[in-house]
Structures are given as C-alpha cells and as structure tokens.
Amino acid sequence: VCAAKIPVAAVCYRHNRADAIAPWADFIDQLGGWHQFRNDLFDWHKDASQQTTTYFLCEAERRRRDDESLVGWVAREGFAWGIDTAQAWLVDLKTTAQALNSPDLLAYLTTRESMLLAERDKVVGGLQSLAKLAKLE
C-alpha cells in the first residue's frame, strides 16, 4: 500500500495539488484494507492451514459457537458475514471516492463490486452443501 502512495504524491506535486495527497493517501489505505480483507475471505482455508492470523479468522474464532469448527462457522454464517462486511466497506470506499472527484475510480469500484458478487455466487452453492453435510454429523 505504501508503494502506491509514492506515484500518487508525485502526480499531486506535478499538478500543484499537494493538498490532495492526504485524501488520496487515506483512500489508498482504505482500499488496501478492503483488498486484503477480500483476499482473506476467499483464502481463509489456506490461511488457517498455514496458521496465518487474519481479521477474518480472528472474527471466526470470536463468533463461532463453542462446539463449532471453523469450516462449520464459515458455512453457517461466516462467509455471508464476510461478504456483507466487504460490501459495506465498498460503500465507504465509494463515498470517499466521490469526494476525490474521480469518475474512473468510481467505475473501478463498481467493477470490483460486480466481481465480488460474482465470486460470492460461485462459492455460495458449495457452502450450502457443506452446511447440509455438517448438520449430518
């Protein structure tokens, strides 16, 4: 994320807009957090197997039932919670992007939202099947 701020600062200075550096830097931080969360949401199983601590896995530990496995929580509610969280963060990103007055940035965020929902749709069916299997145990 930090590396992305350097060219943004350079462009701002080039166009005599040093005042725009801070708002753009804040947006970059926010966008970086969203991208990382999205990655953690879809790669939770790999992260868990490698014992990588992520926000998603910490929330799983906090939210799951005492007798519930990580997989069970993800299938029951965790994935849906993650998608809802990612969508809420996208709303915040779009609000911030509007203040930056960048139509291209808003278009990018709209595209990322469509991609997120398409990815969600690919995963949901499998998780529903997994949840049914978990009830059989």
Q: Which two tokens stand for residue 38?
A: 């999205």
Q: Which two tokens stand for residue 1?
A: 């994320």
CB 33 within 8 A of CB 89: yes
What pLDDT does 136 receive?
53
Could you tell me the pTM of the whole model?
0.89
Model pLDDT for residues 60-113, shown as the tens digit of each residue: 999 999 999 999 999 999 999 999 999 999 999 999 999 999 999 999 999 999
Where in the chain are the domains? 35-136
